[in-house]
């Protein structure tokens, strides 16, 4: 009687051990599966990003040698402006300090390299930052970059909206004296979108994390007021 | 009185625990899904947010910035299903520790950045103050969820439970 009970007990222990072993194996395989899923997800992200990166681009006329910005003027001191056409602080900066920078350029003291970066695509429903920057490339090709840029800031759409449509961008271009057909097809084809990606990537790489960022001879200027920029240019020109 | 209260608590705990675990699992899953979805639409911006911490070269930051949103989404999905819960909780905890370390390091170096935890990120505009402390406390809260699941990974309505064919309630041997 007692030995049969012992056998039953032993059989139960073996069964439990086998069950535990099975559970352990299942847990191991689900863990392996989960790790594989995570690694694959990471690799998908990396490959999506690599396909989005700018590979080949053509810079528009008027760009600097690196093709990362449009040059205005020819003074000895370089003012780098990193701005997004959708960025409200950039519009404000243009309103407050734009005229001062224009004067420094026309007086032959400085040249501007304007980098139209597309940092704020998440804040419009139509990737307005990329579209407007690529359109500014078309305007540069037609020799009206500065004029086009000034109107884009004056007519800046609010964040979170659809932004200006391509047709509206084309109207603005025609309004500042660009050839409607050439400029229109350039905007609609997104001819300079790869260039925009290049400009944006280069700015990110050089540590520009926010817009507007202003550099004078490569050094970031914290005081973006007219007086601050004038002082920085004078100091750099000495 | 104290003894009976403790006994009641002791008898209630095993029945309540799995449901707390379920809440923790679904809560953590939501955190990852929301965080991943907010970043996945603009991988370049995600890379910039990582780069803003200034702890690694730009090229490494962009790779991490691109991979992270997808991994967060996958982690959220795994937790939602309740698959390999202990491992997923461990990975969550490890990621959160890295995030908290990053924010503390940015704070201590006097950087003025947004943590980029749920999209945006990068340097703050002039006059905008960083909110490091709330960000850290929030992440520690998420870490508590992960910690709970790390200790008690068995929860109801999970693939784990379905695979082992056991109710989540008992099982003290693991």
Q: Tell me the shortest Cα–Cα distance from B5 to chain A, in angstroms.
A: 35
Alpha helices in chain A (DSSP H): 2-52, 88-106, 128-141, 145-154, 166-175, 180-189, 193-205, 226-237
B55 close contact with A: CB closer than 8 A: no
Suggest the residue from A87, A210, A211, A213 to mutate for an interface test with chain B (most B CBs closer than 10 A). A210
Helix (H) or strand (E) holding B85: helix B85-108
Helix (H) or strand (E) holding A214: strand A213-216
As a whole-number percent, the residues of chain A with pLDDT over 70 amount to 99
Flag whether pLDDT at A191 surpasses 50. Answer: yes
More confident residue, A6 or A147: A147
State the pLDDT at residue B123: 67
Q: What distance in Å separates the CA atoms of residue A169 and residue A183, rounded to the nearest whole number?
A: 10
B43 close contact with A: CB closer than 8 A: yes
Cβ separation B75–A38 shorter than 8 A:
yes
Cβ separation B69–A46 shorter than 8 A:
no
Q: Which two tokens stand for residue A140?
A: 């540069």
Asked, as a colleague might, if the bond just before A227 is cis with ω within 30 of 0, I would say no
- Neighboring chain B residues of A23 at a CB cutoff of 8 Å: 164
State the pLDDT at residue A4: 80
Q: Tell me the shortest Cα–Cα distance from B2 to chain A, in angstroms.
A: 38
Q: Count interface pairs A-B at CB distance under 8 A.
A: 104
Between B44, B113, B122, which is nearest A200 by CB?
A: B44
Cβ separation A48–B126 shorter than 8 A:
no
Cβ separation A38–B66 shorter than 8 A:
no
Flag whether pLDDT at A221 surpasses 50. Answer: yes
Q: Please give the average per-residue pLDDT across A15-37, as a whole number.
A: 90
- Neighboring chain A residues of B88 at a CB cutoff of 8 Å: 34
Contact criterion met (CB below 8 Å) for A89 and A120: no
Nearest CA among A212, A62, A88 for reference residue A148: A62
Flag whether pLDDT at A113 surpasses 60. Answer: yes
State the pLDDT at residue A19: 87
Q: What distance in Å separates the CA atoms of residue B154 and residue A167, rounded to the nearest whole number?
A: 58
As a whole-number percent, the residues of chain A with pLDDT over 90 amount to 82
State the pLDDT at residue A24: 86
Q: Which two tokens stand for residue B168?
A: 């989540």
Provide the mean pLDDT of chain A.
Answer: 93
B68 close contact with A: CB closer than 8 A: yes
pLDDT by position in tens, chain B (length 174):
555 666 666 778 888 999 999 999 999 999 999 999 999 988 988 998 999 899 999 999 999 999 999 999 999 999 999 999 999 999 999 999 999 999 999 999 988 888 888 876 666 765 677 889 999 999 999 999 999 999 999 999 998 888 877 655 544 444
State the pLDDT at residue B170: 47
Between A26, A27, A205, which is nearest B58 by CB?
A: A205
State the pLDDT at residue B172: 44
B162 close contact with A: CB closer than 8 A: no
């Amino acid at each position: 009687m007692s030995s049969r009970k012992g056998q039953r007990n032993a059989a139960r222990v073996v069964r439990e051990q086998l069950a535990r072993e099975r559970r352990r194996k299942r847990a191991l395989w689900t863990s392996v599966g989960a790790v594989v899923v995570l690694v694959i997800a990471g690799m998908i992200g990396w490959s999506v990003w690599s396909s989005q990166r700018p590979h080949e681009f053509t810079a528009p006329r008027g760009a600097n040698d690196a093709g990362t910005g449009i040059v205005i003027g020819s003074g000895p001191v370089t003012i780098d402006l990193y701005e997004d056409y959708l960025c409200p602080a950039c519009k404000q900066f243009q309103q407050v300090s734009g005229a001062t920078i224009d004067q420094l350029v026309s007086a032959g003291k400085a040249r501007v390299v304007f980098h139209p970066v597309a940092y704020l695509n998440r804040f419009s429903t139509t990737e307005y930052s990329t579209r407007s920057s690529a359109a500014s490339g078309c305007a540069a090709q037609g020799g009206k970059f500065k004029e086009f840029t000034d109107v884009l800031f004056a007519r800046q759409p609010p964040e979170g909206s659809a932004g200006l449509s391509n047709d509206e961008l084309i109207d603005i271009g025609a309004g500042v004296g660009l050839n409607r057909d050439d400029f229109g097809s350039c905007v609609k084809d997104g001819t300079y979108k790869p260039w925009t990606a290049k400009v944006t990537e280069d700015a990110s790489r050089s540590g520009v994390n926010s817009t507007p960022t202003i550099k004078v001879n490569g050094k970031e200027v914290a005081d973006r007021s007219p007086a601050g920029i004038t002082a920085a240019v004078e100091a750099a020109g000495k | 009185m104290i003894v009976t209260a403790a006994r009641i608590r002791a008898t209630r705990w095993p029945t309540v625990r799995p449901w707390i675990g379920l809440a923790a699992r679904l809560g953590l899953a939501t955190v990852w899904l929301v965080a991943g979805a907010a970043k996945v639409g603009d991988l370049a911006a995600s890379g910039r947010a990582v780069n803003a911490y200034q702890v690694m070269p730009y090229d490494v930051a962009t790779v991490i910035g691109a991979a992270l949103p997808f991994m967060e989404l996958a982690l959220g999905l795994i937790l939602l299903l309740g698959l390999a819960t202990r491992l997923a909780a461990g990975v969550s905890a490890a990621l959160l520790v890295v995030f908290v370390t990053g924010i503390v390091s940015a704070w201590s170096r006097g950087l003025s950045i947004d943590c980029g935890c749920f999209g945006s990120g990068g340097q703050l505009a002039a006059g905008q103050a960083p909110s490091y402390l709330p960000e850290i406390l929030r992440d520690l809260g998420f870490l508590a969820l992960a910690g709970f699941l790390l200790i008690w990974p068995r929860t109801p309505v999970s693939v784990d439970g379905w695979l082992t064919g056991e109710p989540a309630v008992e099982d003290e041997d693991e």
